[in-house]
Structure 1
Amino acid sequence: MSFIGLDIGTTGCKAIVFAEDGRVLSQARREYALQTPQPGWAEQDAEEVWRLAWQCLRQAVAATPHDPPSALAISCQGEAVIPVNAEGHALRPAILGMDTRTTAENAWLIETFGADELFQRTGMPVHTINTLPKLLWLQRHEPTIWRDAHQFLLYEDFFLRRLGGEAVISVCLASRTQMMNLASADWDDDILSRCGIERSRLAKPASSADGVVGRLRPALKQELGLARDLLLVSGGHDQACAALGSGVIAPGLAMVSTGTAEVVEVAMDSPALAPTLRDGGISVYRHVVPGLYVAMTLNHSGGLLLRWFRDTLGRWEREQAAATGADAYDLLLQEAPAGPTRLLWLPHFAGSGTPTLDVRSKGAILGLTFATTKAEMAKAALEGLTFELRINLDLLQSAGVRITELHAVGGGARSNLWLQLKADICNIPLRVPMVTDAACLGAALLAGVGVGAYRNLATAVAQAVRWRERIVPSSERAEAYEAQYARYRRVYPLLAELLHEL
């Protein structure tokens, strides 16, 4: 038996067919564009996303004729909103999570509800990322679209509406909108009423986190060449699906996903809603694992900072990598000192992420001398990124969130030096799964549980998530990094005002 994990990301989609034991049977990928019609705006042609994702599904299914998939679940970007007509077709481009046009709407929400009240009820700090202020913006600025729209959907329910006929949203994804009551796992009728949003114009929340929500339309089943029904199962937010796909299924476990940016998802058995998390922009929402919640932190730089360093200062290493097949990042770091560097690197090249969320911050390097080497600078960049990770983990732990183990995925998990740095600086052991597409695997595991192939998600993870290695902190290096971490924590407060002037 096999299952499809369909991932709808911000810049691309992929469909992967997995066997019950987690092996990849087939896969297909496509990329699509973003539009920025005005500064700070971010939109996307949802119909183009649908067309390309359907191509992925057709390609992936065609490549598995001897084990056709029996179920599908969707992992998708959060918060993006798509007004649709009665046939489920988009009336305008999707407004994405990264869009920042809703400052005035957020001010109204704070005045009307209060920032803490919204956080306590929904788990989402007031922020332009949320779906709710995007809907308020459409009310105020595009009244014709607001009037004509049959429903306002996110990508999961948009796709399920097209695939199966009914718009159903996972509780996980719905809890990213700032409209779902975190305690009841249902739309908050008071928020909807006071914001002028009718419940009927939103997707129906799924009744269970991993339950069947529909079947593929007969015409689409025929187009895929399937003889049997393809069941549609509730999926979730891409980061939560990736957490599941990396084995984060119990309180205290956390995923650290290092790609262009770096995201942490920490699992909890009850939501931590401390004011410090609200003020730090750390969202708390329902996990795709029934009964659990996750808190999410974000560092905008992540692997993007290393790419900038390689492309700007690593020309020789790039040429050597191209000639020999070696990794350019490994070449940059091969002469790095074993312990802490003598540098402090503030990695705010795209502003700061959680918990300071300072869009005006900039990067800085302190401690340069004529003895400084390129390798030392490269390692200092990794240290700075990892210190930012530690700041977020410390804040979560101070709010009562237990963190016992990190599961590392993404491009950053390929660097053993960086993995060991994370273990040493955070003083927490890491496990590294073999999976490279954790979000797709997580969605596929939800699909497998939904059709009864696995007894539950714990069984699914035990059968399908395989591990590459476990990395433990060095007590000696962990102690050595404590003093450097204390110095690092002083850098941003000391430089923030000056960086704002640059």
Structure 2
Amino acid sequence: MSPTDKFIIGVDVGTGSARAGVFSADGNLLGSAAHAIAMNKPKPDFVEQDSENIWQSVCQSVRDALAKSNIAADQVAAIGFDATCSLVIRDTDNRPLGVTPGGADNWDVIVWMDHRAIREAEECTKTGAKVLEYIGGTMSPEMELPKLMWLKRHHRQNWDKMGAAYDLADFLSFRATGSNDRSCCTITCKWTYLAHQKYPWDRAFLDQIGLEDFPAKAGIDRKALGVGDLIGNLSDRGAAELGLTTDCVVGAGLIDAHAGALGTLGEYLDGNLDERFAMIAGTSTCHMALSSEPRFIKGVWGPYFGAIAPGLWLNEGGQSATGALLDHIVA
């Protein structure tokens, strides 16, 4: 390796840990590290995490991976984040806001598998809104809008204090850069953002479910960036915490399973996509298929435009408890 060579860091935040890898331009892994993430389960169906704890685990993983790779911080040209589709709630000063009444404010993340918002998800489905066609006709409690509905109804004090709400991958980009830009992947797949439309929010649907104020309140009312599009350079604070330099740039991230699908299917984007789909296994298993035209399939999430690659549509099925079920059996 030459001192002038440039390298890339990928960060993957799963349900139980944060992992970082340092890669050469041709894809060789030079060093990697992982650190666990704390989890809180205050009652049945409630699963919470601490965004600052997640960020600290990310930073430590990046620093450790960099040390193992034997390259200098100023050789890292870019960093990108993927993460679970968990919901991060912050106040107007971007400090953590607790997501459960009576709970501590540091537990500011409603984890993707949290099912507190089953009733709210059912209400979304009952509207019969056209936007539901793009999520298989049924709203899942694992998506962000039912969780926001629950928060507005059951923890109004913190809803009123809320100044920003992030999908976790977007929160990590924010902590790294200070930019509030969002990824097309996250808000298309989990927030009912219709990336293929000039006006991507279905305002009538938001009115029906009592979230007419949410895009502006959550800081999510600007155009989303395509996957990998430039968000900006690391901020002074982000660079210091990650052990990198402000010359390092950050690209718009993805949901963790979707990053796996890009890695699995990326080689075939110019070929016959009908011949392949990706199965991404972890706590859950996601079945991901790409197509050049939208496909509406009842009970299957999508079609999502641009959620993995520009100009392509994604459909997503799967099972929420696969790896988690195996963990339970082993325990």
1:73 aligns with 2:86: no
Separation (CA, whole Å) in 1 of partners of 2:328 and 2:116 = 28
Partner of 2:316: 296
Identity over aligned pairs, percent = 25
Partner of 1:97: 112
Partner of 2:219: 202
Separation (CA, whole Å) in 2 of partners of 1:85 and 1:256 = 37
Matches for 1:146-165 after TM superposition, within 5 Å: 146-165=159-178
Partner of 1:256: 279
Matched-pair contact (CA < 8 Å) for 1:118–1:126: no
TM-fit CA distance, 1:232 = 0.9
Amino acid at match of 1:58: R
Partner of 1:106: 121
1:175 aligns with 2:188: yes
Amino acid at match of 2:212: G
**Quick one: structure 1 residues 307 and 86, their matched pair in 2 at CA, closer, same or farther if it must change by over 3 Å?**
closer
The 3-state SS of whatever aligns with 2:150 is: helix
**Quick one: structure 1 residues 65 and 152, their matched pair in 2 at CA, closer, same or farther if it must change by over 3 Å?**
same
Separation (CA, whole Å) in 1 of partners of 2:137 and 2:63 = 36
Amino acid at match of 1:198: F
1:266 aligns with 2:266: no
Separation (CA, whole Å) in 1 of partners of 2:47 and 2:241 = 33
Separation (CA, whole Å) in 1 of partners of 2:171 and 2:137 = 22
1:4 aligns with 2:9: yes
Partner of 1:494: none
1:138 aligns with 2:151: yes
TM-score (norm 2): 0.82
Amino acid at match of 1:17: V
Partner of 2:53: 48
**Quick one: structure 1 residues 8 and 87, their matched pair in 2 at CA, closer, same or farther if it must change by over 3 Å?**
farther
Partner of 2:202: 188
Matched-pair contact (CA < 8 Å) for 1:122–1:175: no
1:231 aligns with 2:249: yes
TM-fit CA distance, 1:209 = 2.7
- Over residues 407-426 of structure 1, what are the superposed CA-to-partner deviations in whole Å (9 max), with x where a residue is unaligned? xxxxxxxxxxxxxxxxxxxx
The 3-state SS of whatever aligns with 2:213 is: coil
Separation (CA, whole Å) in 2 of partners of 1:307 and 1:107 = 29
- Over residues 431-469 of structure 1, what are the superposed CA-to-partner deviations in whole Å (9 max), with x where a residue is unaligned? xxxxxxxxxxxxxxxxxxxxxxxxxxxxxxxxxxxxxxx
Matched-pair contact (CA < 8 Å) for 2:176–2:239: no
Amino acid at match of 2:93: E
Matches for 1:204-353 after TM superposition, within 5 Å: 204-227=222-245, 229-248=247-266, 249-250=268-269, 251-252=273-274, 253-274=276-297, 277-278=298-299, 281-286=300-305, 287-300=307-320, 302=322
Matched-pair contact (CA < 8 Å) for 1:216–1:231: yes
Partner of 2:3: none
Separation (CA, whole Å) in 2 of partners of 1:164 and 1:15 = 18
TM-fit CA distance, 1:256 = 1.6
Q: Which runs of 5+ in 2 are unaligned?
A: 1-5, 99-107
Q: Which has the higher helix share?
A: 1
Separation (CA, whole Å) in 1 of partners of 2:41 and 2:48 = 6
Matched-pair contact (CA < 8 Å) for 1:163–1:216: yes
Matches for 1:452-463 after TM superposition, within 5 Å: none
- Over residues 169-223 of structure 1, what are the superposed CA-to-partner deviations in whole Å (9 max), with x where a residue is unaligned? 2101111224312532834333334423332223344333321012111233245
Separation (CA, whole Å) in 1 of partners of 2:282 and 2:205 = 35
TM-fit CA distance, 1:161 = 1.8
Separation (CA, whole Å) in 1 of partners of 2:67 and 2:235 = 17
Q: Which runs of 5+ in 1 are unaligned?
A: 313-502
TM-fit CA distance, 1:259 = 4.0
Separation (CA, whole Å) in 1 of partners of 2:323 and 2:225 = 37
Amino acid at match of 1:256: M
CA RMSD of aligned residues (A): 2.6
Partner of 1:360: none
**Quick one: structure 1 residues 35 and 292, their matched pair in 2 at CA, closer, same or farther if it must change by over 3 Å?**
same
Amino acid at match of 1:130: M
Matches for 1:386-397 after TM superposition, within 5 Å: none
Q: Structure 1: which 4+ aligned runs deviate by more than 6 Å?
A: 304-309
TM-fit CA distance, 1:263 = 2.2
Amino acid at match of 1:269: S
- Over residues 228-281 of structure 1, what are the superposed CA-to-partner deviations in whole Å (9 max), with x where a residue is unaligned? 51101011111111111123443223112344543211111122113xx23xx5
Matched-pair contact (CA < 8 Å) for 1:14–1:30: yes
**Quick one: structure 1 residues 96 and 261, their matched pair in 2 at CA, closer, same or farther if it must change by over 3 Å?**
closer
The 3-state SS of whatever aligns with 2:11 is: strand
TM-fit CA distance, 1:103 = 2.4
TM-fit CA distance, 1:108 = 2.5
**Quick one: structure 1 residues 225 and 97, their matched pair in 2 at CA, closer, same or farther if it must change by over 3 Å?**
closer
Separation (CA, whole Å) in 1 of partners of 2:137 and 2:232 = 29
**Quick one: structure 1 residues 307 and 137, their matched pair in 2 at CA, closer, same or farther if it must change by over 3 Å?**
closer
Matches for 1:351-370 after TM superposition, within 5 Å: none
Matched-pair contact (CA < 8 Å) for 2:235–2:246: no
Separation (CA, whole Å) in 2 of partners of 1:306 and 1:157 = 30
Separation (CA, whole Å) in 2 of partners of 1:81 and 1:222 = 25
Partner of 2:41: 36
Separation (CA, whole Å) in 2 of partners of 1:306 and 1:162 = 34
The 3-state SS of whatever aligns with 2:41 is: coil
Higher deviation after alignment, 188-197 or 43-52: 188-197
Number of equivalenced pairs: 304
